Amino acid sequence: MKYIIATHNMKKRNELARILEPLGVEVLTAEQAGVELTDVEETGTTFEENARLKSESGCKETGMPCIGDDSGLMVDALDGAPGVYSARYAGDHGNDPANIALLLENMKDVPDEERTARFMCTVCCTYPDGSEIVVSGKCEGKIGYEPKGDGGFGYDPVFMVGDKSFAELTAEEKDKISHRGNALKALAEALAKVEVK
């Protein structure tokens, strides 16, 4: 079955495809499907609200099942920030270097044992009949002191799991433990039940 993914981010699309395609789920961006999706303003106050805004809009515009996700970094020492504002933490949406620089500046006096954080991801899949599947995943880690590695995107270079950053992991290693990987595994299980009906 073909699903539209409500993102223009090819790295995110590829991550979804790696996990879902072995289950027979074909993931397409709007561009790949030959349609144009409205850029949805993320006005929600939770990851779930933002994921639903994207998936409902994409489903309505294409008539196809649509997968929307919202994810972010929650840092304990910063009372859960940047949270739903992760992509625009420093002001400009998607400016990864600026977001990382601001995060490290805000963490400069935080001792190692208090640098705990987690990546959170909520995925919403909306169907043309109005039904939906909502799942979440998380990955616990710590905020490093400087960027390491050149893989991944977003905060990956400063999110440490053990002695490696997300940006130092292979795609396969990251998929096994990441917040998005965990959410997509839960989605895959739910989709398998839907497909069986």
Strand boundaries in 1-61, DSSP class E: 2-5, 26-28
Containing H/E element for 133? strand 132-143
Q: Which residues contact 181 (CB under 8 A, 6 or more apart)?
A: 15, 19, 137, 139, 174, 175
| pLDDT average, residue stretch 133-151 | 96
From CA 155, how far away is CA 51, in angstroms rounded? 19
Active site residues: 70
Q: Which domain range does residue 10 map to?
A: 2-196
**What CATH number does residue 165 fall under?**
3.90.950.10
Does pLDDT of 184 surpass 80? yes
Mode of pairing for the β-strands spanning 26-28 and 2-5: parallel
Looking at residue 197, its pLDDT comes to 41
pTM of the model: 0.87
For the chain, the domain total comes to 1
Phi, psi of 91 (to 5 degrees): 120, -60
pLDDT of 68-102, one tens digit each? Answer: 999 999 999 999 999 999 999 999 888 999 999 99
